[in-house]
């Protein structure tokens, strides 16, 4: 009606009407006022008090009819939208940071090849620590002396203080035999001292390399940033392949480095282990003094740490590479321990070394975990 329209216009002009109020609400209010005035003026028994009460009840109940009631849903929606936007920003920032880190790591690991380097003529020596390994040494010696193409320049077997026929078997295959103090680190140091090659491959007596291992080593060490390389170790016995343990060997190269030295990891640090057939330049090996012979176990991880920080002649930090090539390793110890127990043993030994357990305790732990399974 015209009075209702005038009332609506007047309310809007005075700013009294709330933004959410509708024309219907104002019209209802005007109609209520008209009814009140009518009831007050007629003589048919209208009661002012009754009309006022009705008006109050009407006004009190307007919220559900006018739609002006604010239950906070709009504020909740704003808060939810703000929280969603914050999460989106965080996610985008995290993805951008990840991309930048991976990009920086890729640039840092990009190979650098020396110009004019006759890498194909580099000599590779194979050093095999073998203490009382008469049962296993024959197979690996047959492989490295007869099946490699190209062949290694020499094979050195470090027998330590062996008391069985390991030395005699090694000589039968034309290998150079050295003896001395026991301990895998001491044995490999003794073998490296008499090796003639430019590059050294440290091969366990129960590990078999691929036929082209010499060429693989030459190609990888063309990169002047690389100080140590290693292979994926596939653990097997004559009747079974330990796929889970083999996969664990791959990922522990990464996660052990991250846990041990996270910032060094960003600059190419990894941790390799002896059954991964580690190789390096003879001059880089000599520059750090070789293996630490006082460590009964984890001497390979210790060498990775020292060679990474020592770097090369041109780079202050050396890169440690795990190649996508496979060597096969005997699962004789895992067969005795079982998959789960062997994994727990490896993790326990690695954590003990990382957190600085003394040499004597490491020795005790090693002897307790590993029985002689030869």
Cα(59)–Cα(276) distance, integer angstroms = 85
Domains and CATH numbers, the chain: 120-222 (3.90.550.10), 224-273+291-373 (no CATH)
pLDDT values of the chain reduced to their tens digit, one per residue, 374 residues? 555 555 555 555 555 444 444 445 544 555 455 444 544 444 444 455 555 555 555 555 554 445 455 555 556 667 778 888 888 889 999 999 888 888 877 777 778 887 777 888 899 999 999 988 988 899 999 999 999 999 999 999 999 888 899 999 999 999 999 987 888 899 999 999 999 999 999 999 999 999 999 999 999 999 999 999 999 999 998 888 888 888 888 998 998 899 889 999 988 899 999 889 999 999 999 999 999 988 878 899 999 999 999 987 777 788 999 999 999 998 877 777 777 777 777 788 888 787 777 777 777 777 776 655 44
Which SS3 state, helix, strand or coil, does residue 217 take?
helix
Q: In this predicted structure, what is the pLDDT of residue 10?
A: 58
Residue 287 sits at the vertex; the CA angle it makes with 124 and 264, to the nearest 5 degrees, is: 100
Task: Please say whether the beta carbons of 215 and 142 come within 8 A.
Answer: no
Cα(212)–Cα(231) distance, integer angstroms = 13
Task: Please say whether the beta carbons of 366 and 271 come within 8 A.
Answer: no
Q: In this predicted structure, what is the pLDDT of residue 41?
A: 46
Q: In this predicted structure, what is the pLDDT of residue 60?
A: 53
- Exposed/middle/buried for residue 270 (C-beta within 10 Å: 0-12, 13-18, 19+): buried
Residue 315: both structure tokens together = 């780079």
As a whole number of angstroms, the longest Cα–Cα distance in the chain is 135
Q: In this predicted structure, what is the pLDDT of residue 238?
A: 86
User: HEC states along 36-78?
Assistant: HHHHHHCCCCCCHHHHHHHHHHHHHCHHHHHCCCCCCHHHHHH
């Amino acid at each position: 009606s015209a009075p209702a329209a005038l009332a609506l216009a007047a309310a809007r002009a005075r700013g009294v009407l709330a933004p959410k109020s509708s024309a219907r609400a104002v019209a209802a209010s005007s109609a209520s006022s008209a009814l009140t005035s009518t009831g007050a003026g007629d003589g048919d028994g209208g009661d002012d008090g009754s009309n006022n009460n009705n008006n109050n009840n009407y006004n009190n109940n307007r919220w559900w009819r006018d739609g002006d009631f604010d239950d906070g849903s709009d504020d909740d929606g704003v808060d939810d939208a703000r929280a969603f936007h914050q999460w989106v920003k965080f996610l985008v920032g995290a993805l951008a940071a990840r991309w930048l880190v991976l990009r920086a790591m890729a640039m840092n690991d990009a190979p650098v090849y020396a110009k004019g380097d006759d890498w194909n003529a580099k000599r590779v020596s194979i050093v095999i620590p073998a203490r009382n390994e008469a049962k296993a040494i024959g197979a690996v010696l047959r492989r490295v002396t007869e099946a490699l193409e190209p062949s290694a320049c020499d094979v050195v077997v470090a027998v330590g203080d062996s008391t069985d026929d390991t030395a005699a078997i090694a000589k039968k295959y034309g290998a150079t035999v050295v003896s001395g103090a026991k301990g895998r680190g001491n044995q490999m140091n003794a073998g490296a001292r008499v090796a003639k090659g430019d590059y050294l491959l440290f091969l366990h007596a129960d590990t078999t390399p691929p036929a082209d291992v010499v060429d693989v080593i030459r190609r990888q060490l063309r990169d002047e940033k690389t100080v140590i390389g290693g292979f994926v170790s596939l653990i097997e016995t004559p009747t079974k392949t330990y796929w889970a343990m083999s996969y664990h060997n791959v990922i522990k190269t990464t996660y052990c480095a991250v846990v041990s030295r996270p910032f060094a990891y960003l600059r190419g640090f990894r941790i390799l282990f002896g059954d991964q057939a580690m190789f390096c330049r003879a001059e880089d090996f000599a520059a750090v003094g070789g293996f630490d012979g006082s460590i009964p176990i984890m001497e390979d991880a210790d060498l990775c740490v020292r060679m990474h920080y020592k770097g090369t002649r041109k780079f202050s930090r050396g890169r440690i590479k795990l190649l996508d090539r496979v060597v096969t390793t005997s699962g004789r110890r895992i067969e005795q321990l079982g998959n789960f127990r062997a994994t727990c043993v490896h993790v326990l030994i690695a954590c003990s070394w990382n957190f600085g357990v003394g040499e004597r305790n490491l020795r005790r732990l090693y002897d307790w975990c590993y029985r002689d399974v030869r």
